[in-house]
Amino acid sequence: MTKIIDGKSIADRIYEELKEEVIAIKDKPGLAVVLVGDDPASIVYVRNKERACKRLGLNYRLLKFPQSIGREDLLSSIRALNEDETINGIIVQMPLPEHLDAFDIVSNIDPLKDVDGLHPDNLGRLLSGKPRIIPCTPLGVVELLKRENIDVKGKNAVIVGRSNLVGKPLFHLLLSLDATVTICHSKTSDLKEETSRADILVCAVGAPKLITVDMVKEGAIVIDVGINRVDDKLVGDVDFEEVKNVARAITPVPGGVGPMTVAMLMKNVITAYRLQKGNYEHN
Ligand code: BQF
């Protein structure tokens, strides 16, 4: 029988664990979220992060800027957050408007406060096998596998999607866990051939029903990172109703990887707080 992996209830358990960690900390760690523009999906994500902070008793600050904000104005507010001792984590909500370069903006966050783990220092450390702050979604995926007792060592892990946010960091995380890892993307010549070999298949593209049942090996673990709005409903990148009949385990959308991403952000805020206090016991 197929296991439907309940990301929401695993995230709930993580919140209970993190609550204990927050209680043990003398002051309240704080997260600042920088939101540019008013993309409706971004507004939902930002609200989820605020709720998670409230749940754990973390300080939360939202900085909202118009779509038209210039680079210098945005950077000066980020520099102020870098200097603010009540703020331990800073995230810039993605996507940014066209005229702003995400790499450039994120490179100006203090790497010890970069709780999305996207600063080049943090990405470089992950690639070197010495991670400090790991991007939330990839961290959520491996935490989900760990808590479901899914061993990745020696397995064929196939990732569809090569973004800096998900595919590339996840490649390094799974590699460090001794999986044999393949990344597929829009120019992959035979996607079905690649995905059919996967013991663990992760899809992070943003294309509804990209992964159909004929592309999945019987007994595979299927992790759906995609979030797409179709007819006012959220769906992943995997044709869930079909694929669930052949997979050994599969994550639903919503309620799979999404809640884990937000829980891992909270974990990263606590990690960042400790790094700033000079306590290097983390992850
Ligand atoms: C759920 C994100 C793409 C691009 C930028 C719970 C979230 C989503 C889904 C959430 C995401 C995705 C976030 C569910 C934050 C995850 O129940 O399935 C939570 O809030 N996410 C983001 O901040 O930026 C994104 C996806």
At which residue do the structure tokens 């096998």 appear? Answer: 129
Indicate the pLDDT class of residue 1, thresholds 50, 70 and 90: confident
Catalytic residue among 93, 110, 224, 237: 93
Whether the CB of 253 sits within 6 Å of ligand 1: yes
Q: Find the mean pLDDT for residues 46-56.
A: 98
Region at 209 (left for phi over 0; alpha for psi -120 to 50; beta for the rest): left
Mean per-residue pLDDT, 220-240: 98
Which residue puts its alpha carbon closest to atom 15 of ligand 1? 45
Cβ of 96 closer than 6 Å to ligand 1, yes or no, is no
Per-residue pLDDT tens digits for 133-156: 999 999 999 999 999 999 999 999
The pLDDT of residue 283 is above 80 = no
Distance 124 CA to ligand 1 centre (A): 24
Which pLDDT score, from 0 to 100, does residue 3 have? 98
> Is the Cβ atom of 227 under 6 angstroms away from ligand 1?
yes
Tokens, residue 143: 């935490």
Domains plus CATH for the chain?
26-110 (3.40.50.10860), 136-258 (3.40.50.720)
Which residue, among 31, 36, 34, 26, has the nearest Cα to 55 in the 3D structure?
A: 31
Strands 228-230 and 233-235: antiparallel
Query: In which band, very low, low, confident or very high, does the pLDDT at 278 lie, cut at 50, 70 and 90?
Result: confident
Instruction: Summarize pLDDT for 168-179 with one digit per residue, the tens.
Output: 999 999 999 999
276 given a catalytic annotation: no
Relative to the CA of 252, which ligand 1 atom is closest?
18
**Active site includes 54?**
no
User: What does the pLDDT look like over 117-134, one tens digit per residue?
Assistant: 999 999 999 999 999 999
Q: 254 in ligand 1 pocket by Cβ < 6 Å? A: yes
Q: Which of 110, 114, 116, 224 is catalytic?
A: 116
For residue 135, the CA-to-ligand 1 centroid distance in Å is 13
> Considering only CA atoms, which residue is closest to atom 13 of ligand 1?
45
Mutate to test the pocket of ligand 1, among 261, 264, 265 (most ligand atoms within 8 A of CB): 261
> How confident is the model at residue 209, as a pLDDT?
97
How far does the centroid of ligand 1 lie from the alpha carbon of residue 254, in Å?
9
Question: pLDDT per residue over 196-208, tens digit each?
Answer: 999 999 999 999 9
Report the predicted TM-score, pTM, of the whole model to 2 decimal places. 0.97
The atom of ligand 1 lying closest to the CA of 95 is 5
Section 251-259 average pLDDT? 98
What is the pLDDT of the chain when averaged over all its residues?
A: 97
Ligand 1 binding pocket includes 45 (Cβ within 6 Å): yes
What pLDDT is recorded for position 282? 46
Which residue minimizes the CA distance to atom 8 of ligand 1? 258
pLDDT tens digits, one per residue of 82-96: 999 999 999 999 999
The span from the CA of 146 to the CA of 65, in Å, is: 38
- Report the pLDDT value the prediction gives residue 281, as an integer from 0 to 100: 53
pLDDT value, residue 224: 99
pLDDT of residue 280: 60
